[in-house]
Amino acid sequence: MREVAILGVAMTKFGNSEKTNIEMFAEAGLGAIKNSNIEAKDLEALFFGNCLGTFEEGQMHMAPFAHSVLGMPMSSPATRFEGACATATVAIRHASLLVGAGVYDMVIAGGAERTTAMGTPLATRTFAMGCHAQYESPLGITFPGVFGMAAHMYAKKYNIPLKELKRNMAEVAVKNHFHGAKNPKAHFQKEITVEKVLSGGMVADPLQLLDCCPFSDGSAAVVITSADKAKQLVDKPIYIAGTGQASAGPLYLQQDLTRVKAREISIKKAYKQAGIAPKDVDLCELHDCFTIAEILALESMGFYEFGKAYDSAAKGETRLGGKMIVNPSGGLKAKGHPIGATGAAQVTEVVEQLRGESGSRQVEGAKIGVVDTLGGDYGTVCNIILRS
């Protein structure tokens, strides 16, 4: 396998958009192409992520239309990926593997999602389709419900009073909104307080409104090529040092919701391929769909011992200026979560951080960054390790 690098990245502003999925992807994709110092005709394949287009705008089979709007040649195939919230990360991983294997020399990968147009009831229903439709959905299982149960199990397992855990979860939201306020492309660009989080409406006990990420519209894209070619085209190529992916079965087969076993397997693969350990990581864009999810991810990825990450945000350890910066973009919680695009936006943030292009939220001296994306209720996890 040859070494693989990322040339250009781009994303739209996340939030509410009047544009279609294809129009949003055109903005991100053309931006990534421009930032790569190439033309669309140079791309040999498109790896396009989208989950809910049939519900959002009655449109399936989006990949060839995204391909066309970028102006790519007909000889370059376009393939749609779907892995729930991990969709774009899985697409980027597959793209990098095929470039590494020499099947393609230069490709583009990313995704788009338009969820706000559906409204909250339909969006909630369609998001819940990432759960098991035969055994879980009929019981009313939704993602907030899953992570609400995980929070209760975490508190009981590690003997943490629920009130104390709730306050520390609120600190995660405060930290990510602090970062998001520095990100001009974030859905939410306003700082919040712990008291604001704790006074919010209850969504799925103990998760309150500001413990939960928003439904968002948006798109992001990255151009991937061989390391040798990347050095000829851009001043600061960012290298894909390692990737991992793992899958778990339905939720009812997973006895301990405090341990995301697929993540533990996936990240170990990525660390091994990259030849690093958790202590070597400078920043991480991880899947904080809910505040408890960030805590679980920190432990599954080896940054903290199990049962020890719950107060990391309160201690300032994961905030800008801390020992290992988590979600400097604002994360899903503040940057937003257009599910088909989320992983590509995480990669975009890490690439820009490693290039020193992140302005007031820049992680000083960042050389190694990790992307972590969780799809469904623990069903798919994909990790990408990037280095400068």
| Catalytically annotated residues | 85, 337
Q: What is the CA radius of gyration of the chain?
A: 19
DSSP conformation class of 173: H
Taking the C-alpha atoms of residue 138 and residue 330, their distance in angstroms, rounded to an integer, is 33
The Cα angle at residue 201 between residues 199 and 202, in degrees rounded to 5: 110
In terms of Cβ atoms closer than 10 Å to its own Cβ (0-12, 13-18, 19+), residue 307 is: middle
CB 35 within 8 A of CB 7: yes
User: Token digits for 290?
Assistant: 């809910």
Q: Which long-range contacts link 316-321 to residues 24+ away (Cβ below 8 Å)?
A: 318/175, 319/175, 319/178, 319/179, 320/178, 320/179, 320/361, 320/363
All residues at 6 or more sequence positions from 159 whose CB lies less than 8 Å from its CB, including other chains: none
